A = this chain, B = another copy of it.
Amino acid sequence: MNNISKIPKATITRLSLYLRQLELLEFDGYRMVSSGKMAWLCQVNPAQVRKDLGYFGEFGIRGVGYDVIDLQEEIKKILAINREWNVGIVGLGNLGLALIDYQNFQARGFYFVAAFDSDPLKIGREIVSGLKVFDFRELRNIVKELNIDIGIITTPASAAQKIADSFFQADVTAILNFSSAQIHAPGHCIVENIDFTVKLDILTYKLKNVIGI
């Protein structure tokens, strides 16, 4: 157990989903939940829920289930979201601004501490209270100064690699990439991609091939 390299990536994704369902269950007044109920809520197999949790410890009570509140804490520890993280965002188009305003981030301890753009009209402004727009070329200094842990890229694809490289040089080793570029990163760095058109392509593929429109 706890041989981290053997944990499927999909398990981490599901843990995040479990956490959200647990929050809803708590809100609805539940104290305990079984793997069967969690599985139904998350649309997975009950054994999958138990196995996913089993990679990290024994959190349940046999014959009963899991404590809705305790399990949230355990998952937060596993995902390392039982702390705050400082986020810097590059690219202040509509998407960038929408993300800055996205309530779920603050609620979960992800704080935007700096924004970057190359547009002189935007640089120097304060988007929301406490969040200033810096020239992209200052990225390295600001990263150090404000202790940025995670970089978010919402620029056009053509600029994405250069920005990612700046983050890597500034020792930001984790990037969330909303551009459609494939980012090449050094071995010790992590990039997660969120690509809207890929998801739409999957939908249309299935519409044609599974449903057959």
Surface stretch bound by B, among A64-72, A104-112, A117-125, A134-142 = A104-112
Taking CB atoms and an 8 Å cut-off, the chain A residues in 1-55 that contact chain B are 4, 9, 12-13, 15-17, 19-21, 41-43
Query: When the two chains form their complex, are residues B102 and A95 in contact, meaning their CB atoms are under 8 A apart?
Result: yes
Query: When the two chains form their complex, are residues A208 and B80 in contact, meaning their CB atoms are under 8 A apart?
Result: yes
- Name the contact of A207 in the complex, choosing from B97, B149, B202, B208 (C-beta under 8 A): B149
Hey, which chain B residues are within 8 Å of A194, CB to CB? 194, 196, 199
Give Cα A97 to B12, complex, Å: 30
Interface size class on chain A is 35 or more
Query: When the two chains form their complex, are residues B81 and A182 in contact, meaning their CB atoms are under 8 A apart?
Result: no
Chain A residues proximal to chain B, CB less than 8 Å: 4, 9, 12-13, 15-17, 19-21, 41-43, 78-81, 85, 93-95, 97-99, 101-102, 104-105, 108, 110, 149-150, 173-176, 180, 182, 184, 188, 190, 192, 194-211, 213
